[in-house]
Amino acid sequence: MEATSMKQQEFTLASVTDLTSSSSSPSSSSPVSATFSRVNEVTELRFHESEFGFDLSSTQLFKLGPLQFMCVSDRSDSIKEDSFSRGVVIKFREEKESKEFCDSFEEWTTNAAGKGSSSLANGTVPDGKSKFDNKIEAASAKMYFHYYGQLLHQQNMLQDYVRTGTYHAAVMENRSDFAGRVVVDVGAGSGILSMFAALAGAKHVYAVEASEMADYARKLIAGNPLLAERITVIKGKIEDIELPEKADVLISEPMGTLLVNERMLETYVIARDRFLSPNGKMFPTVGRIHMAPFSDEFLFVEMANKALFWQQQNYYGVDLTPLYASAHQGYFSQPVVDAFDPRLLVAPPMFHVIDFTKMKEEQFYEIDVPLKFTASVCGRVHGLACWFDVLFDGSTVQRWFTTAPGAPTTHWYQIRCVLSQPIHVMAGQELTGRLHLVAHSAQSYTINLTLSAKMWGPGANQGGILQTSSCKLDLKEPYYRMSQPQVYPVAQETSAQPQDIQIQSDDLEEIELLQQNANAQL
């Protein structure tokens, strides 16, 4: 049926509340009528008595309960120039009326758009490709959302008590940033951070989750009724959905391996640009990637030995050696994810800062980090070790969360890029290089690493590069090695006297407190 031939439809509502006006309030004693119609080639939904009108080509309907819905549009005939969008909460007297209204809404919006749309439990999302879909391949996105739509993976993250305890502490210690404020939870997952925000006194929390976990989040939040009345779960991508109001606070857990894996940080800053009020808060606020060269003979031998299978010249009568070089290169293209002993570091670490409040989405597409270290011990450098930390810059407490070696282990562990050709260094020798990260459509990065050792000793300032080694790795395909730091025998220690390297992180003094938080959660 074409929109031009559709007859005007009218519904009687119990009340309408304008979310963009602080003075509006429900009016149960004076019912409001809602009318679907087409006027001057514009298909609209108009709320009489209250004078709210919505262009249905840009309107979404969100179900808050059996009798309560939220209607949101980014265009309205009465919208002010400095407003973000128009939103109203509508209530019905009977569930039958609400169902008939929803059916009509879907029919009228479909015709207004001139094409079909995908109906979701929380509203409608256009069929056209979004910004997310244009830069991320469909197969990767499908696997990603399937993974995070499963409770067992959410449980794995919830049981990371260092992670969950730090988020809880950062929110509760900064209640003044949340009390009476509008909060958007970006990639809400199970909804745990949304509930932390509600516990801290948030006026309202919009929990945005694109995977099937949104349905579990609704169920979990509904089971906590004192919080549920202030939390709305929206199933959809940040790039696609609309909200009825600006946010005072964004909260999210967008960090992946090496901080940037999974490319959710881009979604985090898109949410900032779309929904955060000027001078709004972001939890977390800043991230840092820490890097240091390491020496680990056991790991290097382990990686090299994996390819020995392909050195067999008579494998059931077949010579496998033509593939040995490719297999060797393949194993060294895998970043190693594990927790290691910080005494394996051969130089003090450096870090690269990513400010989530200022970073543009496009700046995540390619990240270039110049490297410069001074070796503290003699030995062979087998690669570059990396970890990250993030700052929750609250008004009351500034809290750091770290994944550093030597700190309590998290589900991120640490990551190491192993060189197929190690570099020999002496104490005091300078190491330089480059860590170059290039984003790809499988929601990860290609890592290009180069390390060089300059000449050391008398006359070194007259010489150039002595040794150089490089490698190319795919952050999407890591080697998950172990869950806890390995105890190394004395035999691996270099001839020089080993010394502890100071880990550069602002919250290592808080480790004891984090452990107490973790025990409290248990």
Question: pLDDT per residue over 329-381, tens digit each?
Answer: 999 999 999 999 999 999 999 999 999 999 999 999 999 999 999 999 999 99
**Over residues 106-126, mean pLDDT:** 53
Looking at domain 288-480, what is its CATH homologous superfamily? Answer: Hnrnp arginine n-methyltransferase1 (2.70.160.11)
Provide, rounded to the nearest whole percent, the portion of the chain with pLDDT above 90: 64
* DSSP code at position 436: E
**Bigger pLDDT: 55 or 354?**
354
Q: Could you state, in order of their start, the residue ranges of all structural domains in the chain?
A: 9-21+30-75+84-112, 138-253, 288-480
Residue 510 in this model has a pLDDT that exceeds 90: no
Quick one: fold of 138-253?
Answer: Rossmann fold (3.40.50)
Q: Do domains 138-253 and 288-480 have the same CATH topology?
A: no
Q: Looking at beta carbons, which pairs linking 326-333 to residues 24 or more positions away fall under 8 Å?
A: 328/304, 328/420, 329/420, 331/303, 331/304, 331/306, 331/307, 331/479, 332/303, 332/418, 332/419, 332/420, 332/471, 332/473, 333/471, 333/472, 333/473, 333/474, 333/477
Q: What is the pLDDT of residue 503?
A: 60
**Over residues 71-86, mean pLDDT:** 57
**Over residues 52-70, mean pLDDT:** 80
CATH of 9-21+30-75+84-112, one of 2.30.29.30, 1.10.730.10, 3.40.1160.10, 1.20.1440.230: 2.30.29.30
Residue 307 in this model has a pLDDT that exceeds 60: yes
Of the listed ranges 64-78, 324-338, 342-356, 396-410, the one predicted with least confidence: 64-78
Of the listed ranges 224-238, 279-293, 300-314, 476-490, the one predicted with least confidence: 476-490
32 C-beta neighbours (distance < 10 Å), count: 20
Provide, rounded to the nearest whole percent, the portion of the chain with pLDDT above 70: 80
Tokens of 45: 């939904």
pLDDT band at 450 (very low <50, low <70, confident <90, very high): very high
Active site residues: 253, 262
**Over residues 140-159, mean pLDDT:** 94
